[in-house]
Structure 1
Amino acid sequence: MGLGLPAIHRANEFKYAKDVPIEALLDAKSYKKLRKGVYDEFYGRSWLLYHYLTLSGKRPRQLINYQVALANGASELDSAKTAFGDLRALDAELDAYLAQRRMRYVPIAGEKLKVGTISVRKMREAEAAIMPVILESKRGVNSEMAKALLPRAQAVAASFPNDPFVLAALAEAEHDAGNFAEAAKIADKALAANPALVNAHVQKIFALSRLARDAQDPDSAWRLTRKAVTALNKVEVDHPIPLIYYYISLKAPGKEVTDVAAHGLERALQLAPYDKSVRWQLVQQFMDEKKYAVAYRTLMPLANDPHNQSDDNPAVALLAQIKGKWEQEAKGAADAPAT
């Protein structure tokens, strides 16, 4: 196995695509001004820059310094100039690096790779029958798609009425179609057959939390959700869903968020860093706690999302707001009289 092998598949991109200046490579605003619907070498050039800073040995620690400057609130361009110095010089070095006949990489011998036991089994008949429904559900469905998928799930469940794997999938289909009470009921049936079935626990939590939002007795309804959360947490301690929904079960009805719930939400983001909604929730929690520096760093991936660089990205405006509060807090601390 080799880490950092040359990206040969990007050779034509390097040769024929429109050049990207180093400033546009390091600063989202500069790149946005430059790009006007044309294909360019942004991804290839980004790979080259990362490879150069990581494996060439020419600029030790500069990438880390750049990341630290960003995390401490400096702009992208200022962070780059602080860490790398003359950006024109860096750009020229990249051109020379690309022209080399050889590039360093990190080889890892096969005998050093410790692969655990891999077991494969044939799916049971019930599992095979419901799998197409599961694949569509997991991919994501809108309201119209969910209503079309539900009868298919129900048809499979009619053939395998007591199979917990099928029942958990049916609970998910019922939930997606907006039948939350039915979803919770079916999830319970699945758990009665297999108390360790994670997806059945997850679907029960999802369904109960939706019911709790409109319940006449929200306190009781959210207590049921927390009970379901506890049950899944006992089955799989490092599953993010119980951590997320324990926090929601307190936040949604206006209860005081405990330290356990707040720390659980932090852990959930560690387990599922790709979940944008959890990141948003955690940023808001940090702001409530007036932890502006950590809120800023937590929000940065959303504000700098390369696939959402539109002017109406709400993370950009919120990041600026947090930075203002952070700077104001730092100024207040600096102006405070010594004791």
Structure 2
Amino acid sequence: MRALTVLKTVAMAAVAFIMLAGAPAHAEWRKATSEHFIIYGDVSESRLRTYTQKVERFDQLLRIWFPPRDTTLITPRLAIYLADGTPDMRKVWPDIPDNVGGFYTPGEERIFAVTGGTGAENDQTLFHEYGHHYMQQNLTGAYPGWFVEGFAEYFSTADLSPDRMRVGLNNPGRMNSLSMGANSWMPFEQVLRSRSFDTGSRGHLYYAESWALTHYLISRQREKLGLYLAAVMSGRDPVEALVGTIDRTPAQLQDDVRRYLSGPINFLSEPHDFPLNEVTITTLSPAEAELVWLDLRLARFVPEELRAGNLAEAQGIAARYPGDPMAARVLAQAHLDMKQPDDAVSVMRPIVEANPNEPLGLRFFATTLMDAGDAARENGDDDRRRALYAEARGALGRAYAADSMDYRTYLALTRNRRGAPNFPSDNDLVVLRTGVELAPQVSNLRYQAAQAMMSRGQYRQAVVYLMPLANNPHGGEQLNEVRALLQEAMQKAGAATAAQVAPAS
């Protein structure tokens, strides 16, 4: 009997081992919430807290040097995900280049950043991307493309300890690009008017010269830089705006920058007591931990050949966590990617019924309903489309009541209203403006707001919304459409202004 008992014990242990080995490993993922960030990582609590404080110090640095235009505006926190190198990042961006240390996605479904680690090189990438995020969120205006990149590059090398700031440190990579001889530089006239996406193989020079020009002007001509930026944002040509502000020709300014770089690079190093930011750390549930990368992958554009695999992965996870809200949302998104909106509705409906006041679920349920409604219209069933859109409208109302800070709800409300006889109404314009205030980084949100304003004759306001898109150094989606719409808005704004000041006949 003893031998049989021992054999049974060994057998049970073996079965248990096999079951554990076959189940997915659940990492100890944690979430840190601070004033400006929500940071996720499969790291220890102390390491996550230390990292969050470091990123908050960087935000404080930007606020010291370039304070927000509107200090009363409450802005959403940026989500940052700590990856363990390129293999983790490929779970979100499958074809990410090997030399990328992190990336930032300001999408209609999510605004987030992923960093490949917590080392100095990864920090430089994250600080660069957060520089863009901060500028778009807090320094509203149509900055010239070279300054958008130069600003991000200038602050990306910052070294911040709890009691000291070092700002404007040398950037060896950019200096290396500029050390191949004066004749290799792009002419500053081209740099001032260009964007990174249209500089072709000389893109590395565009970034380097933008960094060098920004470094020089912040260090030596900061007051004149402010005058110049104001002139460009008022609509002046980036080259012509030098007159009366910096008062140098592009060639003279380029010589000034070359001479500046030939000596020691100026940087600021001074004591500064950064206040400790309150950080709350929680542990993700097993389902949330398993879904981190798939959720982000689905928030980006998914190539068609990967969609079936994503759906199978989402189905497997949802089966392990029946009734879990996040597992259901991810599965529903995978169904939408596969053009299966009715299946997505079926997944989300019981989740919303079980969690009637959960804003993420309500908002996404509305999205599935509208996708199903659009499919019904394509099949000639307008009555079903109207019914589904009406149900979506109710869900969006409850989502807004539960959380008025989610820009995606404002996008969905606009989608739901589009096509109505009185669209865009005054309330529709308020919805779009509020969405842009919450997420000015989302290009399509700005574009839709400008379109709505123009349809109501608000051409000058539309110009303000379109100019940052037209000046985006990365180009962005709909660039040709943006430029055409901006040109139309500027022409009509000029005509409207002329009509206002014309003498009465």
TM range (shorter): 0.7 to 0.9
Does 2:341 match 1:180?
A: yes
Does 2:210 match 1:43?
A: no
Q: State the secondary structure of the residue aligned to 1:147.
A: helix
Percent identity among equivalent residues?
A: 22
Q: State the secondary structure of the residue aligned to 2:179.
A: helix
| 2:443 and 2:477 in contact (8 A); partners too | no
Aligned to 1:244: 411
Aligned to 1:155: 316
| 2:359 and 2:400 in contact (8 A); partners too | no
Structure 1 residue 108, shift from structure 2 partner: 6.4
Instruction: Structure 1: state its 5+ residue gaps.
Output: none
- The one-letter code of the counterpart of 1:112 is F
| 2:169 and 2:265 in contact (8 A); partners too | no
| Structure-2 separation of matches of 1:310 and 1:176 | 20
| 2:217 and 2:225 in contact (8 A); partners too | yes
Does 2:495 match 1:332?
A: no
- 1:255-293 CA distance string (max 9 Å, x none): 432322211211211222221211110110121122222
Instruction: Please identify which structure carries the higher strand content.
Output: 2
Structure 1 residue 172, shift from structure 2 partner: 1.6
| Structure-1 separation of matches of 2:404 and 2:269 | 35
| 1:209 and 1:225 in contact (8 A); partners too | yes
- Picking from 239, 245, 257, the partner of 1:83 is 245
User: Which 10-residue stretch deviates more, 2-11 or 237-246?
Assistant: 2-11
Over 3 Å counting, the alpha-carbon distance change for 1:71 and 1:336 in structure 2 is farther
- The one-letter code of the counterpart of 1:277 is N
Over 3 Å counting, the alpha-carbon distance change for 1:279 and 1:28 in structure 2 is same
Over 3 Å counting, the alpha-carbon distance change for 1:328 and 1:39 in structure 2 is closer
Q: State the secondary structure of the residue aligned to 2:185.
A: coil
User: Which 10-residue stretch deviates more, 88-97 or 126-135?
Assistant: 126-135
| Structure-1 separation of matches of 2:479 and 2:436 | 24
Give runs of aligned pairs for residues 1-339 of structure 1, distance below 5 A.
Answer: 1=160, 2-16=166-180, 18-28=184-194, 37-38=201-202, 40-56=204-220, 58-60=221-223, 62-87=224-249, 88-105=251-268, 107=270, 109=272, 111-121=273-283, 123-195=284-356, 197-213=358-374, 214=377, 216-217=382-383, 218-308=385-475, 313-337=480-504
| 2:294 and 2:310 in contact (8 A); partners too | yes
| Structure-1 separation of matches of 2:440 and 2:458 | 19
Instruction: Please identify which structure carries the higher helix content.
Output: 1
| Structure-2 separation of matches of 1:265 and 1:140 | 23
- The one-letter code of the counterpart of 1:21 is P
User: Which 10-residue stretch deviates more, 147-156 or 188-197?
Assistant: 188-197
| 2:242 and 2:248 in contact (8 A); partners too | no
Structure 1 residue 335, shift from structure 2 partner: 1.8
| Structure-2 separation of matches of 1:71 and 1:45 | 21
Q: State the secondary structure of the residue aligned to 1:101.
A: coil
Structure 1 residue 82, shift from structure 2 partner: 4.5
TM-score by length of 1: 0.85
| Structure-1 separation of matches of 2:218 and 2:282 | 38
User: Which 10-residue stretch deviates more, 190-199 or 8-17?
Assistant: 190-199
Number of equivalences: 332
| 2:212 and 2:257 in contact (8 A); partners too | yes
Over 3 Å counting, the alpha-carbon distance change for 1:104 and 1:300 in structure 2 is same
- The one-letter code of the counterpart of 1:291 is Q
| 1:171 and 1:200 in contact (8 A); partners too | no
| 2:469 and 2:479 in contact (8 A); partners too | no
| Structure-1 separation of matches of 2:202 and 2:212 | 20
TM-score by length of 2: 0.59
| Structure-1 separation of matches of 2:254 and 2:442 | 34
| 2:335 and 2:344 in contact (8 A); partners too | yes
Runs (4+) of structure 1 exceeding 6 A deviation are 309-312
- The one-letter code of the counterpart of 2:255 is A
Structure 1 residue 119, shift from structure 2 partner: 0.6
| 2:410 and 2:431 in contact (8 A); partners too | yes
Aligned to 2:145: none
Aligned to 2:82: none
| Structure-2 separation of matches of 1:19 and 1:85 | 21
| 1:137 and 1:173 in contact (8 A); partners too | yes
Over 3 Å counting, the alpha-carbon distance change for 1:169 and 1:310 in structure 2 is closer
User: Which 10-residue stretch deviates more, 210-219 or 220-229?
Assistant: 210-219
Aligned to 2:22: none
Over 3 Å counting, the alpha-carbon distance change for 1:328 and 1:96 in structure 2 is same
Instruction: Structure 2: state its 5+ residue gaps.
Output: 1-159, 161-165
Determine which structure has greater relative contact order: mean sequence separation of CA pairs < 8 Å that are 6+ residues apart, divided by chain length: 2
| Structure-2 separation of matches of 1:302 and 1:102 | 33
| Structure-1 separation of matches of 2:407 and 2:269 | 33
RMSD: 3.0
- 1:161-206 CA distance string (max 9 Å, x none): 2222211221221222222122123222223344454442332121
Q: State the secondary structure of the residue aligned to 1:119.
A: strand
- The one-letter code of the counterpart of 2:353 is A
- 1:213-256 CA distance string (max 9 Å, x none): 32523444332222111121122211001112222222234443
- The one-letter code of the counterpart of 1:91 is Q
Structure 1 residue 19, shift from structure 2 partner: 0.5
| Structure-2 separation of matches of 1:199 and 1:22 | 47
